[in-house]
Amino acid sequence: MKNTKQQTTTKTLADLYRSLDRQHAVTITYLAPGDTEPTVRTIEIADIRTTKNGGIVIVAMCRLRGEERQFHLSGVLSYTVHRIAYVLDRPAPTKYERPAPAPTTDAQALFFYELARDQDDADHQPRALIRTDTDLAA
């Protein structure tokens, strides 16, 4: 078990990204904001994101609840990376319907169309995390 207070955030993130790459489960001791007692959860990490205010959020399938949850990295007190593989199926993302192209004379509609187009690729699927992305984080 690794205590997050005794290592850098970079080392913690490197371990978590490595477990994401290898699809290995992670057991965390987590203190949710506003709670007084930490909980122990075994999670299957699906994504690691940053928030607008600079926080880091782990999006994962929780084996206790059997559904997708978000855990703030600042709430992770300790963790253990296991060799066991993922067993839970992550629900498919909801289908995003792109609006029809707007006329070029309507600047606001064109702006929102371009914004929606940039949020996903041509197949309407979120961009997948690839190995080179996780190598940069370590």
CATH number at residue 35: 2.30.30
**Quick check: is 57 in a domain?**
yes
For residue 53, CA distances in Å to 49, 56, 97 come to: 12, 9, 29
The answer to whether residues 44 and 88 touch, using CB atoms and an 8 Å cutoff, is: yes
Query: What is the number of domains present in the chain?
Result: 2
- Of 66, 85, 104, which residue is a domain's last? 85
Can you give the pLDDT at residue 74? Answer: 92
Q: What is the mean pLDDT of each run of 10 residues along the chain (138 residues)?
A: 88 93 95 91 93 90 91 94 88 63 64 65 52 50
The answer to whether residues 20 and 90 touch, using CB atoms and an 8 Å cutoff, is: no
Q: Are 12 and 76 found together in one domain?
A: yes
**Quick check: is 133 in a domain?**
no
**Quick check: is 60 in a domain?**
yes
Q: Provide the whole-model pTM.
A: 0.64
Can you give the pLDDT at residue 26? Answer: 96
Provide the domain limits for residue 113.
92-120
Can you give the pLDDT at residue 128? Answer: 57
What is the per-residue DSSP string for 92-131? PPPPPPPPPPPPTT-HHHHHHHHHHHHTS-TTS-PPPP-H
Can you give the pLDDT at residue 121? Answer: 47
**Quick check: is 66 in a domain?**
yes
Q: Which two tokens stand for residue 43?
A: 């999670």
Q: Are 13 and 55 found together in one domain?
A: yes
Distance, CA of 116 to CA of 112 (rounded, Å)? 6
**Quick check: is 131 in a domain?**
no
